[in-house]
A and B are shown apart, each in its own frame.
Chain A
Amino acid sequence: MTVECAPLDNVVRPGETNGPSGIALTDRRFVGQVNLRVRGSGLTAAGHALGYALPMAANTTAGDATSRACWLGPDEWLIVCDDGKQAELIQQLSAALAIDPNAVTDVTDARAVLRIAGACARPVLAKGCTLDLHPRVFGADRVAQSLIARAQVMILPIEGGGYDLFVARSFAGYLWDWLLDAGAEYGIRVEG
């Protein structure tokens, strides 16, 4: 008997596509990250230092061209900026919060940031995440902490449809492999 088709002939492997590539995956090395814990009168002071008010609604963000504050909890934010800008940010926040109870911590090295973009980014994440990430409910000013394939992530939507996934660096390799596997059917382009 002749074998006409090997079992894996139809499987798309990382780096290959089975049509127009629907996903671009990037390792965004690196993104400046500052954890901010503050409450009460410190909220206003922190807003002055940042140049915009901290987002108080759960799972929302606020920001300007320099940085973006992501709500992590009722008194906790992750402030995201270009790598190299975090030292200045920390200095400004620490100076402004001198008399208010606070914690300002450089956590830039704590998380890797994987960017998944392209028309099929959302269906890929839907395979491993229970959240509805449609722009109808997860718009440009949103952020969410959740699980993707059981790994803890912070999900930040990006302009033009796509997401930055902030993941503990020890999980980054695992999540990267999972995304390659989950996205293979849509075609993946690894960038950067």
Chain B
Amino acid sequence: MLLIPCPYCGERAEGEFRYGGEAHFRRPDNHLEATDEAWADYLFMRKNPKGWHRERWMHLAGCRRWFYVVRHTITHKIATAYKVGDAHPDLPA
């Protein structure tokens, strides 16, 4: 069970949260003219790293806010969590 630090509520058990996948990818700006390749990239392609990963979580059973977590996909260690709109913290070494 992960202990996830909600930027609003503090540390809570994983069961209170929902996972939202990789964070910070951007919908094609000019959606009428975006190429199929750009759409496919946006919809399907993810980094899926072995290591530090910026990802979205939502505190479903708590404050119901979306936020970001930096989590290591091998160790599950969580380096930090930050709010939508906050500057993106550096990934740990």
Contacts and interface: CB of A to CB of B under 8 A. Distances in A.
Contacts, number: 38
A145 B63 contact: yes
Interface string B13-33: 101100000000000000000
A12 B60 CA distance: 35
Contact of B16 (A72, A74, A76, A146): A146
Interface stretch (B4-12, B37-45, B72-80): B4-12
Interface string B67-92: 00000000000000000000000000
Contacts of B16: 130, 146-147
A173 interface: no
A74 B65 contact: yes
Interface string A132-152: 000000000000111100101
Contact of A73 (B8, B12, B15): B8
Interface residues of A, number: 14
B51 interface: no
Q: Kindly name the residue among A59, A130, A144, A150 whose own CB sees the greatest number of chain B CB atoms within 10 A.
A: A130
B34 interface: no
Contacts of B60: 152
Contacts of B8: 58, 73-74
Given A130-B15, A147-B16, A58 B61 contact: no
B64 interface: yes
A72 B61 contact: no
B63 A147 contact: no
B7 to A, nearest CB: 9
Interface of B: 8-10, 12-13, 15-16, 60-65
Given A73-B65, A152-B60, 11 more contacts: A58-B9, A72-B64, A74-B8, A74-B63, A74-B65, A130-B12, A130-B13, A130-B16, A146-B61, A147-B61, A150-B15
Nearest 3 pairs of A and B residues by beta carbon: A130-B13, A73-B63, A145-B62
